[in-house]
Amino acid sequence: MKWKIYRLQVDAEHVGQRLDQCLANSVTEMSRTKAKKIIDIGGVHINGRRVRSSSAPVKFNDSIEVYIDQLPLEPYRISETDILFQDKYIIVINKPPMVDTQPTHARFKGTVYEALQWYLKDPFRLHVKPDIGMVQRLDRGTSGLMVFSIHPQAHKEMTRIFLEHEVHKGYLALVHNSPESDQGEILSFLARSRKENRVKSVDKGGKEAITRFEIIDELVDYSLLKVEILTGRSHQIRAHMAEQDCPLVGDVRYGGSSLASGIEISRPLLHAEKLSFRHPVLDQDLDFTLPPAADMQNIIDSLRVSSR
């Protein structure tokens, strides 16, 4: 999904106008109502700084950048049903697909991080001011389990648990084709290629990445895999499976198709299914399992029917 970026320079005609008015007057396809929503979620930057006030006056020669990520302009909000576990130290949530984990140029409001701030500010949910530590990230398109520390007493130990790989992270991945063996381990060194805008295995200079997989369901032209990552590199599963000639369904960047069983797919079909770790403060074992998001489950069910 490609972003749209508009770059404007304020001329004498628009000096002193409200920011939303300036955008509506300068960008043909943008109404004032739409401009206000984009400003509110954090997609507008003046002279390199995010501005979230529609009434902010623009000045002569201001450089304005407008980032539009093509996602809904209504911000994502966490509900009670999204919470799998919460105490005063940590919170475990179900992240929906197509929501950014952390702020981007296109939005601050409606990311998982901001939505968690919004959710926890209710004094009935947390009796102290929230202090959020982000130890885990999921790609925009990935659904499933995420844990955050929400108390200073938990931050350091939660970070250590993830850095030292004392957490079990299990995923479900729907891929094209089938790996050569029913189960296996992929070890390579991954690095980002700016030219290709993707991560790939390299002989020198990359970071070690270890991925284990097991086929749990073979379908016609597709496979459903259980995947465990022993390292947490960016796009690790996506890159490793693509290099096995088994790109994730919906992962166009890594060679997957945006169609499966005649259904259009807007994201890589990857789901964070399992998360196990020791509580950072209370020293208790915690183990969570979560079924796939509805869109992924629907595709799996459809492929199973067509494979009979």
Let me know how long the chain is: 308
Burial class (CB in 10 A: 0-12, 13-18, 19+), 122: exposed
* Phi, psi (degrees; rounded to nearest 5) at 258: -90, 10
Residue appearing with tokens 């796009």: 235
Nearest residue to 274 (alpha-carbon basis) of 171, 143, 159: 171
In which element (H, E) is residue 36 found? helix 32-41
Tell me if residue 100 is catalytic: no
How much of the chain is in helix, strand and coil states, percent to nearest 5?
Answer: 20, 35, 45
Cβ atoms of 287 and 147 closer than 8 Å: no
User: Of the listed 139, 217, 245, 285, which one is catalytic?
Assistant: 139
Query: Which amino acids are annotated catalytic?
Result: 139
